[in-house]
Amino acid sequence: MSDMSFPLVTATAVLPALGAVATAAVPAARRTVAKWLALAVSLGTLVLAGWVLAAFDAGGERYQLTESYAWIADFGVRYEVGVDGIAAALIALTALLIPFIIAAGWHDAEPDPDGEGADAGRRWRPTQGFFALILMVEAMVIISFAATDVFVFYIFFEAMLIPMYFLIGGFGDRAHAAGEAEGAKQRSYAAVKFLLYNLAGGLIMLAAVIGLYVVTADQLPAGTFSLQQIAEARASGELEMATNTERLLFLGFFLAFAVKAPLWPLHTWLPNAMGESTAPVAVLITAVVDKVGTFAMLRFCLGLFPEASAWATPVVIVLALVSIVYGALLAVGQRDIKRLVAYASISHFGFIILGIFAMTSQGQSGATLYMVFHGISTAALMLVAGFLISRRGSRLIADYGGVQKVAPVLAGTFLIGGLATLSLPGLAPFVSEFLVLVGTFSRYPAAGIVATAGIVLAAIYVLLLYQRTMTGPVDKPEIARMPDLRPRELAVVAPLIALLIFLGVFPKPLTDIVNPAVEHTLSDVRETDPEPELPAVEATE
């Protein structure tokens, strides 16, 4: 226990939380101060997250930088955090993306100059609220990734919904085809749908969390939510779950994560939420918040309920395959750029879940890398799409055409983001998608074949999107006047693209951290790879 040392992981989460409070407290007239403050805090968090990565020893203990404090003894809850390789990578991803999200959303939450009276304008501070909420989400996501106590995880997993809900419902896209009033209506619908889906999933998980407590309180000296304690008790045979109990608890947990991830058929909130929110918030949803769902499947479903996970694997794999194909097919048919990216994300989440439940080391390494790379690539694509949409004031693909002639840099970055989404070799997502497919093939060849269809469809929806929006004649006056990327926008996109290329060529720093953690997870489920295999790193090169 590092009781005496600096609580690095907690600090990584506390800094944005404090930053959120400070940002919210900035006076109404000082909007710019709030923005810079939020950006500075997010950069500070990035530094701390980098420190976490640096302090993490890939060859060391499973959970490192652990902290453990008494919290709610009556519920058997301790505040326990610690990172394994998977958590460290995802914390780094979160801390990495938030500054870009903040910078991209720089002008997304200005107070409406004509909508409100002077009196209301004095107290209504949307800009401060917007950036404070983003930082609040960041803090909660980081704690969720780091929690090694089920209850601590649950608390932040649920609490995260509230700031997310306000971000979706309160700061929508003004560029709405059906007019502003209709836009506000759909936005609020999307926010409510998001909240109710996730809350319902979370409440079912609550029943399972209570069930887990009852099981541990029954057999152990005291009820506990500590992952490590439960794992040790199970390994020593002190704690045994009846088959049915374990399956029910697994289902309770899995359902919540499948809503969050989102897995078909629980996915329908995502297109609404991403479509109606601003591009940076959409990135926050799909690239950061949803990753908690897939991460939690790895850590909690597999870690706590190995037998039930094995029992559910066939069904989960089928659902993941449906997600892959269904999401991709619907993406092909979308007329709205943001909803297209949302459906593409559903397809990609299918890949991640497929990789997790393939129960092979390549599959799970691939799934973990996929979470990181999908986060970066979607951020790149969606943020550029957001810049595009803010220029034209429309989300409809049909309203564009020929953009590459007037705004070549915008078109170029959009293309790279798109190519990353379709997993072009040389860009980072290729590595992870390849690993997932290899990992799946070695155990479920048929599933691997079906999943490959997702790649083909991805090529179709990305290239069609590019073709319809960027190529062709410039026949609309709004497009002819369209400015290219501004320096701020370029500063957002360029580093993301550089990262995509760098990690596509040289993913080793990440795989080195992730692979040992995946081995631990696999040993949780007592799975070994089906055949002698090369280490995951070499398979990628």
213 near another protein (CB under 8 A) = yes
Task: Please tell me the chain's helix, strand, coil percentages from 3-state DSSP, rounded to the nearest 5.
Answer: 75, 5, 20
Of the candidate spans 181-189, 230-238, 290-298, 506-514, the one that interacts with another protein by CB under 8 A turns out to be 181-189
- Please, what sign has the CA dihedral across residues 306, 310, 313, 315? negative
CB 138, CB 18: distance < 8 Å: no
Of the candidate spans 7-15, 179-187, 301-309, 479-487, the one that interacts with another protein by CB under 8 A turns out to be 179-187
CB 447, CB 314: distance < 8 Å: no
21 near another protein (CB under 8 A) = no
217 near another protein (CB under 8 A) = yes
Residue 472 Rama label (left phi>0; alpha psi -120 to 50; beta): left
Distances (CA, A) of 196 to 158, 191, 193, 206, 532: 11, 9, 5, 15, 45
537 near another protein (CB under 8 A) = no
170 near another protein (CB under 8 A) = yes
139 near another protein (CB under 8 A) = no
Q: Residue 227 Cβ, how far from another protein at the closest point, in Å?
A: 18
51 near another protein (CB under 8 A) = no
Length of the chain: 541
**In this chain, which of 33, 40, 206, 406 binds another protein, going by CB under 8 A?**
206
116 near another protein (CB under 8 A) = yes
Residue type, 29: A
Q: Judged by CB, which is closer to another protein: 7, or 126?
A: 126
What are the phi and psi torsion angles at 444 (to 5°)?
Answer: -125, 80
Of the candidate spans 183-191, 225-233, 322-330, 492-500, the one that interacts with another protein by CB under 8 A turns out to be 183-191
235 near another protein (CB under 8 A) = no
Total residues binding another protein (CB under 8 A):
41
Q: Judged by CB, which is closer to another protein: 47, or 203?
A: 203
Q: What is the rounded distance in angstroms from the CA atom of residue 321 to the CA atom of residue 193?
A: 24
**In this chain, which of 200, 332, 409, 459 binds another protein, going by CB under 8 A?**
200
Q: Residue 174 Cβ, how far from another protein at the closest point, in Å?
A: 14
Of the candidate spans 191-199, 295-303, 392-400, 445-453, the one that interacts with another protein by CB under 8 A turns out to be 191-199
Antiparallel, parallel or unpaired: β 77-83 and 64-72:
antiparallel
**In this chain, which of 29, 196, 446, 456 binds another protein, going by CB under 8 A?**
196
Q: Judged by CB, which is closer to another protein: 120, or 480?
A: 120
E-assigned strand segments in 389-493 = none
220 near another protein (CB under 8 A) = no
Q: What is the rounded distance in angstroms from the CA atom of residue 95 to the CA atom of residue 288?
A: 9
**Short-list 157, 453, 94, 447, CA closest to 297:** 157
CB atoms within 10 A of CB 234: 18
22 near another protein (CB under 8 A) = no
459 near another protein (CB under 8 A) = no
Distances (CA, A) of 356 to 86, 221, 309, 369, 456: 12, 33, 10, 11, 22
Q: What is the rounded distance in angstroms from the CA atom of residue 425 to the CA atom of residue 541?
A: 11
Binding site for another protein (CB under 8 A): 70-75, 116, 120, 123-125, 154-156, 158-159, 161-162, 165-166, 169-170, 181, 184, 187-188, 191-192, 195-196, 199-200, 203-204, 206-207, 210-211, 213-214, 217
